[in-house]
Chains A and B, each alone.
Chain A
Amino acid sequence: MPPLLEVDDLQVHFFIDEGTVRAVDGVSFSLEQGKTLGIVGESGSGKSVIGQAILRIVPSPGQIVNGRILLQVDEKENLQQQTLDLVTIDPRGALARSIRGSDISMIFQEPMNSFSPVHTVGSQIMEALLIHSDVSKAEARNQAIEMLHRVGIPQPENRIDAYPHQLSGGMRQRAMIAMALVCRPRVLIADEPTTALDVTVQAQILALLKELQEEFGMAIIFISHNLGVISDISDDVLVVYFGRVMEQAPVKDIFDYPLHPYTQALLRSVPGIDTPVRTELATIEGTLPDPLAYIVGCPFYGRCTECGGDSVCRDQPYELTKVSPEHFVACPRMCIKL
């Protein structure tokens, strides 16, 4: 059986006056039902654009220039095939709209910006239901209350009529999760959903997401810059840098046996229990390459301390190589040795 969602050689480029920004440059992965894929990267790595491309909401001047995004869909009216390539559909069309919110939902970092401030939370959750499923208004309201209850909002029958500004940050994020999940999507894209929250609330939200995943069986794409959060929630992890996947592996392998020098450097730069206090932390020297540059080889070339400026790394075309059944790495130096 094919995976629920399969992304194959996705390229999203932004065409600006100064040139082309290759925000996503050949990313592939697949996602099984009930599993969580963590996408981790620093700011500007293109991790959010991957999520936007799947929902077909890449902002202008960005365009999907290559690749396929294959989603397994249920039989819909005037749609026969089981596998739908989201790249080929019209992003403004009825089909794309019927997928957003019902098959694939998204939650964002700052819930205050994702809710309409002039509508109640309840009416926005009900809107999703009324559009995507054939329910009466009263039924939709009941389901919205049930969903708010499910995400841990106290007194949901009162809170449903609250405006977003009347809720606290954590409650708003819970309400947004309720809105995203009310139509029982099979894929949830969570783009930095806990970054704006305190650690105690972050722990609550992560626990809630895991619980709801078990109950509803949806797959989650969890995008974050926080390695700890990614390690907490993911089954598989993609490490992205400069629009490319540098390493892909099950969560345990990424954090216990990181192979790519970039992954290793990222992990070293966070102070942990083994770091003696008040000592120098390992850093990654230099900065991200110029976003307009086209780099054939390893984009980490020049900052990497392992390769020592090996010209192989600069010139060998980028390729993700399988090093074990589930572990992929894009390090020319390492892959040539294999």
Chain B
Amino acid sequence: MSASDILIEVKNLKKYFPIQKGVFKKVVGHVKAVDGVSFSIRQGETLGLVGESGCGKTTVGRMIMGAYRPTGGEIWFQTPDGGPRLNLAEMTPAQMRPIRPHIQMIFQDPFASLNPRMTVREILAEPLIVNKVAKGAALEGRVRELIELVGLKVQYLTRYPHAFSGGQRQRICVARAMALYPRLLVADEPTSALDVSVQAQIVNLALEIQNKMGLAYLFISHDLGLVRHFSQKIVLMYVGKVVEYAPAANLFGKPRHPYTEALMSNVPSVRSDFVSHKIILKGETADPINPPPGCAFHPRCVYAQDVCSREEPLLREIGPDHVVACHFSEALDLNGCDALGCAI
């Protein structure tokens, strides 16, 4: 695997949001939304970014998009066709502009992410016009190609977003994101607002497009079952930090962090022939403004020992491509999906 295969490499990425108080907006502290996240995505690969609400997964996606400027760290992006490797974290918005077509995003709420005053044709044509990619007949041809790519009819081009169901709107969002042949699609909870039957349609569409166009996905979700189905590699975050980063099969087969184990056991299953052993965690996700000392997970961890509240565990490699942040990864014999009886 050569280095040029890596499409995007995130190194020690950080984003601190200031907390301001008083009339003079004095900075009294920071929310460490993302605190030292590293991972890489190869060309055409899907990386699942999983975690509970407030863990910073969306912030990571937005920094890659250039919507937030990182507080620290690097985002190395391999420009297509043998172009240079660029550090997006240091680029100004003006410098980012030519890069933006290569990285696109779709959002959770398809009702909020389409302009209600624009027809589908206008929505799909806008990125092509803004970036001066096509005009006239070529523009119309590309718009038609896009709407067919996502399985909608050409007649729908004259309609407004309100005339579509949630699943159809999400298809339009996918079509718009595909307009400029991106190399990376950041999908932030793309199916969370949809019914399960429609969710399956969008997942199928995303897989089909990936096979056809060979682009990479950063798939941000809280749904472990869906992430397992979709991703080759998984990053699990907890309060701004990576707790485990591994290929999907390894992570689900043999997790090495107690949080991974607990999270998997908590996914409700529809199979009565699986006896599930639920690990009910105490308390709730730690406060990112004031995280607990040591390992942020220790107040909820069933295996916690004294050292966990004193020393912060560092991310370390414990197997091929398997990275984990726990003092006791080797000592603990954690259960995988099968042993836990979770049918995801």
Determine if B189 is an interface residue (Cβ-Cβ < 8 Å): no
User: What is the CB-to-nearest-CB distance from B92 to chain A, in angstroms, rounded to a whole number?
Assistant: 37
- A204-B280 contact, Cβ under 8 Å, with A199-B263, A272-B271: yes
For the complex formed, measure the closest distance between the CB of B312 and the CB atoms of chain A, giving whole angstroms.
21
Contact with B along A243-278 (1 / 0, CB 8 A): 000000001100110000000011101111101011
Min CB distance B42 to A, Å, is 15
**Taking A270-B225, A271-B344, A275-B229 as contacts, is the C-beta distance between A228 and B284 under 8 angstroms?**
no
Q: A130 contacts which chain B residues (CB < 8 A)? A: none
User: Given A170-B284, A275-B229, is A283 in contact with B267 using a C-beta cutoff of 8 Å?
Assistant: no
Task: Report which residue of A201, A229, A275 has the largest number of chain B beta carbons within 10 angstroms of its beta carbon.
Answer: A201
CB of A281 within 8 Å of the partner chain: yes
Shortest beta-carbon distance, B110 to chain A, in Å?
Answer: 13
* B268 and A200 within 8 A (CB): no
Chain B hits for A265, CB < 8 A: 197
- Contact flags B196-237 to A (C-beta < 8 A → 1, else 0): 111111011001100000000000001011101110000000
With a CB–CB cut-off of 8 A, which chain B residues contact A232?
268-269
**Contact of B267 with A198 in the complex, beta carbons under 8 Å:** no
B267 pairs with A271, CB closer than 8 A: no
List the A side residues contacting B267 at CB < 8 Å: 199, 228
Say yes or no for B343: interface residue by CB 8 A criterion.
yes
Knowing A198-B53, A199-B263, A281-B203, say if A266 contacts B197 (CB, 8 Å). Answer: yes
Known contacts A42-B196, A203-B278, A283-B201: does B270 contact A198 (CB below 8 Å)? no
Given contacts A203-B266, A280-B204, A281-B229, contact A227 B196 (CB under 8 A): yes
In the complex, B27 has a CB within 8 A of chain A: no
Given known A-B contacts A200-B52, A281-B200, A267 and B280 have beta carbons under 8 A apart = no
Closest to B199 in A: A269
A168 in the interface (beta carbon within 8 A): yes
Whether B270 lies near A199 (C-beta < 8 A) is: no
CB pair A255–B270 under 8 Å, yes or no, is yes
**The one of B226, B263, B337, B343 that contacts A200, using a Cβ cutoff of 8 Å:** B263
Q: Say yes or no for B81: interface residue by CB 8 A criterion.
A: no
Q: Count of B residues near A, CB < 8 Å?
A: 46
Residues of A within 8 A of B337 (CB): 273
A198 touches B52 (CB 8 A): yes
Known contacts A271-B226, A281-B203; is-contact A207 B280 (Cβ 8 Å): yes
In the assembled complex, which residues on chain A have CB atoms less than 8 Å from the CB atom of B133? Answer: none
Does A171 have its Cβ within 8 Å of any Cβ on chain B?
A: yes
Contact between B229 and A256 (Cβ–Cβ < 8 Å)? Answer: no
Q: Any chain B CB within 8 A of the CB of A287?
A: yes
Q: Which residue of B lies closest to A280 (CB)?
A: B204
Complex Cα–Cα for A201 and B284 (A): 7
Q: Are A199 and B52 in contact (CB under 8 A)?
A: yes
Report which of B200, B278, B343 forms a contact with A273, defined as CB distance below 8 A. Answer: B343
Q: Is there an interface contact between A198 and B285, defined as CB atoms closer than 8 Å?
A: yes
The answer to whether B52 and A273 have CB atoms under 8 Å apart is: no
Q: Beyond A198-B52, A229-B268, A278-B207, is A207–B278 a contact (Cβ under 8 Å)? A: yes
Q: Is the CB of B271 within 8 A of A255?
A: yes
Chain B residue nearest to A267 (CB atoms) is B270
A280 interface neighbour in B53, B207, B265, B271, Cβ under 8 Å = B207
From B207, B272, B284, give the contact of A231 (CB < 8 A): B272
Residues of A within 8 A of B197 (CB): 42, 265-266, 269, 283-284
Task: Kindly provide the distance from the CB of B113 to the nearest chain A CB, expressed in whole angstroms.
Answer: 18
In the complex, per-residue mask of B272-294: 1 if CB is within 8 Å of any chain A CB, else 0: 11100010110011000000000
CB distance from B196 to the nearest CB of A (A): 5
Cβ of A282 within 8 Å of any chain B Cβ, yes or no, is yes
> In chain A, residues 218-235, which have Cβ atoms closer than 8 Å to a Cβ of chain B?
225-229, 231-232
- What are some 12 contacts across the A-B interface (CB < 8 A)? A169-B284, A201-B284, A203-B266, A203-B280, A266-B196, A267-B270, A270-B270, A271-B228, A272-B271, A280-B207, A280-B208, A281-B200
Point out residues on A near B: beta carbons under 8 Å. Answer: 42-43, 168-171, 198-204, 206-207, 225-229, 231-232, 251-252, 255-256, 265-267, 269-273, 275, 277-284, 287
| CB-based closest 8 A-B pairs | A228-B268, A284-B197, A271-B229, A281-B200, A198-B52, A203-B266, A269-B200, A42-B195
